[in-house]
Each structure stands twice: as C-alpha cells, then as structure tokens.
Amino acid sequence: MTDDFRARVRDWLAANVPDSSEDAPAEELIATAKRFQAALHDAGLAGITWPSQFGGQGRSAAEQQIFDEEAAAHELPTGVFLIGLGMCGPTLVDLGSTEQKARYVRPLLRGEEIWCQLFSEPGAGSDVASLQTRAVRDGDSWVVNGQKVWTSGAQWSDHGALLARTNPDQPKHKGLTMFVVDMHAPGVTVRPLRDMTGRAPFNEVYFDDVRLPADAVLGEVDAGWFAAVTMLGHERVSIGGSVRRRYDPLAYHNLVELARTRNRLDDPLVRDGLAALYTAERALSLFNARLRQEADAGSPPGARGSVAKLAGAELLWQAVHVAGLIAGLDAAAWDPGSAEGDELAVAINATPASSIAGGTDQVQRNIIGDRILGLPRDPVADRDIPFRELRVGTQA
Ligand SMILES: Cc1cc2nc3c(=O)[nH]c(=O)nc-3n(C[C@H](O)[C@H](O)[C@H](O)COP(=O)(O)OP(=O)(O)OC[C@H]3O[C@@H](n4cnc5c(N)ncnc54)[C@H](O)[C@@H]3O)c2cc1C
C-alpha cells in the first residue's frame, strides 16, 4: 500500500516538476508555482493529511513522510506557499469557522492564493505579545492601524494572518485578536527589505485605517494569543520538520560532492565533519518522522516542535562549518562567476536567519527548558499589567 503510494508520488514528480530557473522574473516564478501546486492538488498530492471536506486528502502522516522523502529529490517551485501551507492553513483548519475553512482552505491547497504571517513588529519580535498594531471595532467592521516587519512573502500575498491589539486595558497576552486580512485592501502598504544575501524575502507592512469585516476574526476576539501559539506551534514543526532537500547546497549529499570535486575527501577533518553531519541529518529526520507519527496518533508535538526548530537551525550551522572545512576561504568569498560557488555563498549567508526566523535559538531553548525539562520559567514582570500601562516600543 505505502509502496504503491511511493511509486505513484515518484512517477508523478518525475513527470511533472518543472525545470527550475532562479533567474526568471518573480511573476513568472509565481505563475509556475501556482500551476504546479494546482496540478499537485489535481493529482491528490496536496494537503495529504488535511481533512478531505476542505480539499485535503485525509491521508496518514506516514504518507506525508513518503511524499516529503520523494519530493526531497526535486527542486519544487512551491516556496511561496510555505507560510500558507505550513502555518496559516493548519491554523485555519484548527480555529477557523466553517465559512472560513470553506472559503480559504481549498484555494490555499490549490496554490490559488498566497498567505503571509503578520506577527512581528519593530518593538515586538521574541516578545510578540508586546505588539502595538491596533484593531478598533467600528460598527460592523474593525479598523486596523500599525506597522509589521520581517513579513516574509508579503509582496506576493493575497491574505495575511494578522495579530493585532483589540483591548489595551487587558494584560498584553489577553487583549490580542487574530484576523484574516486582505493584502490588497485599501490602506495596506508593503515595502520590501533586502537581506545580506542580496535578496528581498521579507517586508515592512503598514496598515493605515484598513477596514476588516467582522467575520475576519480568526478564533475568538481577545483570544489572539491562543491563535498565535497555535500558529507558532505549526511554524516550528513546519520549519524544523522539513526534510533536507538534495538540491540544498548545504545538504550532506551536496557537500560530499563538493569535497569530491575539490579533492578534499581524504582530509580527516572533512571526513569527520561529513560523518557528523550525516548523523545529525539522519537523527533529525527520524525525530521528525516520530513527531509526525505521534501527531497522527493524536499526540501533537507541542514544545517538542521547538526541539525540531532548534536542531534544524543547528544542523545548518554545522553544515556551514563543514563547507568551510572543504572550501576554506572560498566558502566566505566565492568567485561571483561560479554558479556552484554563488549558490553555496547565498546558502551560507542565509544561515544566520535560520537562528532568528520563527523564534530565535535562545527563545527555543527557553521553551525547551521550561516546558520539556521542567526548569524554572523565565521571570515575566509585566504579565498581569494592563497593556496601556506598559512602556513598550513607542508607547511612552
Ligand atoms: C528570514 C526571516 C523571516 C521572518 N519572517 C517573518 C514573518 O513572515 N512574519 C513575522 O511575523 N515575522 C517574521 N520574522 C521575524 C522573526 O519572527 C523575529 O525576527 C524573531 O521572532 C526575533 O525577534 P526580533 O528580531 O525582534 O529580535 P528580539 O526579540 O529583539 O531579540 C534580540 C535578541 O535577544 C534574544 N532574546 C529576546 N528575548 C529573550 C529571552 N526571553 N531569553 C533569551 N534571549 C532572548 C533573542 O534570542 C535575540 O538574540 C522573520 C525573521 C527572519 C530572520
């Protein structure tokens, strides 16, 4: 049964994954991604574990694992859907009203609509409950004002999951609400930010008197912290749980190839680093497979998602170290004319972000210490004080 599924996935991917061309204009890449995701859905391979009444396949975590293992051999063009499929979609399935699920889940699975996550603000990253973007009730609508930052993919997105403050008289965790926001609505301004790889993967997003309908609330009014924690749980599993892709220049498989082409395979330090990397990749992949099986059996990963997220970031740093052993100074300063080098340099320069995006390494360690190891909690002095009385961000 699973062998049949594996064969079907393998054949379908071999026949349908388009040739990648990183140099194509963004609009073309997105059009390709949308076509591919729709075809994936038509083939019954999108939303493998998602409920069938909303367009998913209602299959098992084991089948999802098989799909991921087979997909790792290809460069799928679906990066723009990662936040929607990994985080917003699962949160909609968990907390959305029947109408919201019917409206949003299928188009998301078919790649017809792109989503982003609007949590972080200039004064609210690790401590996202300090956010200042406000949503004020006005008749049948909500009116949103404020600024978000580091919003990945906002420039391509149709919808965002927005966390906003709806009750400043409550303590900071209690007066938040999550909304579904139309990114094309009047008053939404998106400004790309460039990172040190030279790309602009994320953005600042400004909300100026943006009107949202009453049914834009995702979950309950003033229960946005619960919705945020739900989404962050999905985020950690989605980031930490991703199977290492064979085209990733920092994957074990490609670093072995790099060592071979540079005649570095006989160096004992390189061999040692590669062996340790292989072991760490395998261990993380088995840990993730176990998290999935347990989730399938009704035991969600909870704080163990932070273990996967932290281990995923540490694995990348380990790979950067091995790349340095193989390539020496070239790992830091490649010849821009070399396609192989350029790709590796971009991957190395993108690695520090993996220790920040989706919650920093330090914050994951706090969660693991507190919720898994039973260590004393981080002291929080402002947990019970009404938000209005706190001095955070620009709030004097
Ligand atoms: C590539 C990338 C993509 C991102 N995409 C999105 C997105 O799509 N949507 C979105 O909403 N956000 C996004 N973010 C933002 C990300 O979630 C935040 O950057 C992250 O939560 C850290 O917040 P901060 O940058 O404000 O740092 P801060 O919270 O100011 O932290 C600064 C330093 O202090 C440490 N620190 C803070 N609090 C503690 C503590 N209690 N204990 C120990 N150490 C602590 C941190 O670990 C860090 O080293 C993205 C970030 C990156 C890098």
Does residue 178 sit within a domain?
Answer: yes
- Tens of pLDDT, residues 262-271: 999 999 999 9
Task: Note whether 220 and 247 are same-domain residues.
Answer: no
Give the Å distances, CA to CA, from 234 to 104, 119, 304: 17, 14, 11
**How much is the pLDDT for 269?**
97
Task: Note whether 70 and 145 are same-domain residues.
Answer: no
**How much is the pLDDT for 345?**
84
Q: Whose CA is nearest to atom 18 of ligand 1?
A: 125
Give the Å distances, CA to CA, from 390 to 82, 147, 312, 327, 384: 35, 19, 35, 50, 10
360 lines ligand 1 (CB under 6 A): yes
Tokens coding 377:
């909690």
Task: Note whether 182 and 215 are same-domain residues.
Answer: yes
Of 179, 194, 224, the position where a domain reaches its end is 224
Tokens coding 28:
């073309």
- Residue 18 — very low, low, confident or very high, per pLDDT cuts 50/70/90? very high
Minimum-distance ligand 1 atom for the alpha carbon of 118: 11
Residues 100 and 180 sit within 8 Å (Cβ to Cβ)? yes
Task: Note whether 183 and 265 are same-domain residues.
Answer: no
What contacts 160, CB < 8 A, 6 or more positions away?
115, 116, 117, 118, 151, 154, 180, 181, 183, 205
Minimum-distance ligand 1 atom for the alpha carbon of 378: 41
List the one residue out of 202, 87, 207 whose CA is nearest residue 150: 202
From ligand 1's centre to the CA of 61, what distance in Å?
30
DSSP 146-177: EEE---TTGGG-SEEEEEEES-TTSBTTTSEE
Would you say residue 56 has pLDDT above 80? yes
Does residue 82 sit within a domain?
Answer: no
Of 26, 54, 77, the position where a domain reaches its end is 77
Give the Å distances, CA to CA, from 183 to 101, 200, 365, 389: 18, 18, 34, 31
Does residue 379 sit within a domain?
Answer: no
Does residue 391 sit within a domain?
Answer: no
Task: Note whether 15 and 73 are same-domain residues.
Answer: yes
Mean pLDDT of 313-340: 83
Phi first, then psi: what are they for 366, rounded to 5°? -60, -45
Best of 356, 361, 371, 392 for a ligand 1 pocket test (most atoms within 8 Å of beta carbon): 356
Catalytic residue among 70, 113, 121, 235: 235
Task: Note whether 158 and 249 are same-domain residues.
Answer: no
Of 77, 107, 141, the position where a domain reaches its end is 77
Q: Whose CA is nearest to atom 29 of ligand 1?
A: 126
Does residue 97 sit within a domain?
Answer: no
- Tens of pLDDT, residues 273-296: 999 999 999 999 899 889 888 887
Between helix 2-16 and helix 26-42 the angle, nearest 10°, is 150
Does residue 102 sit within a domain?
Answer: no
Task: Note whether 252 and 294 are same-domain residues.
Answer: yes
Does residue 301 sit within a domain?
Answer: yes
Find residue 163's DSSP bridge partners: 178
Task: Note whether 271 and 215 are same-domain residues.
Answer: no
Minimum-distance ligand 1 atom for the alpha carbon of 123: 26
255 burial level (CB within 10 Å; 0-12, 13-18, 19+): buried
Find residue 69's DSSP bridge partners: none
- Whole domain around residue 268: which residue ranges? 242-359
Phi first, then psi: what are they for 236, rounded to 5°? -65, -40
Task: Note whether 295 and 330 are same-domain residues.
Answer: yes
Measured distance CA(230)–CA(212) in Å, rounded: 22
From ligand 1's centre to the CA of 258, what distance in Å?
33
**Could you tell me which residue, 35 or 358, shows the higher pLDDT?**
35
242 lines ligand 1 (CB under 6 A): no
125 lines ligand 1 (CB under 6 A): yes
Query: What is the domain-level CATH number for residue 181?
Result: 2.40.110.10
Would you say residue 340 has pLDDT above 60? no
Minimum-distance ligand 1 atom for the alpha carbon of 366: 42
Angle at alpha carbon of residue 306, lines to 303 and 312, rounded to 5°? 150
Q: Is 343 an active-site residue?
A: no
Q: What DSSP state is assigned to residue 363?
A: H
**Could you tell me which residue, 159 or 74, shows the higher pLDDT?**
159
Chain centre to alpha carbon of residue 370: 23
**Could you tell me which residue, 236 or 156, shows the higher pLDDT?**
156
- How far from each other are the two terminal CA atoms of the chain, in whole angstroms? 62
Task: Note whether 192 and 269 are same-domain residues.
Answer: no
Does residue 2 sit within a domain?
Answer: yes
Give the Å distances, CA to CA, from 264 to 2, 149, 158, 269: 39, 42, 47, 9
List the one residue out of 288, 28, 301 whose CA is nearest residue 156: 28
Tokens coding 352:
């520090």
From ligand 1's centre to the CA of 360, what distance in Å?
5
From ligand 1's centre to the CA of 178, what distance in Å?
19
Task: Note whether 328 and 263 are same-domain residues.
Answer: yes
Task: Note whether 203 and 257 are same-domain residues.
Answer: no
Measured distance CA(169)–CA(59) in Å, rounded: 45
Minimum-distance ligand 1 atom for the alpha carbon of 127: 29
- Residue 1 — very low, low, confident or very high, per pLDDT cuts 50/70/90? low
Mean pLDDT of 87-110: 97
- Report the mean per-residue pLDDT for the chain: 92
Q: How many domains does the chain have?
A: 3
From ligand 1's centre to the CA of 55, what distance in Å?
33
Residues in the chain: 396
Mean pLDDT of 155-181: 97
Find residue 147's DSSP bridge partners: 206
From ligand 1's centre to the CA of 126, what distance in Å?
5
Q: Whose CA is nearest to atom 24 of ligand 1?
A: 125
Measured distance CA(362)–CA(365) in Å, rounded: 5
200 lines ligand 1 (CB under 6 A): no
**How much is the pLDDT for 298?**
85
Q: Whose CA is nearest to atom 25 of ligand 1?
A: 125
DSSP 223-238: -HHHHHHHHHHHHHHH
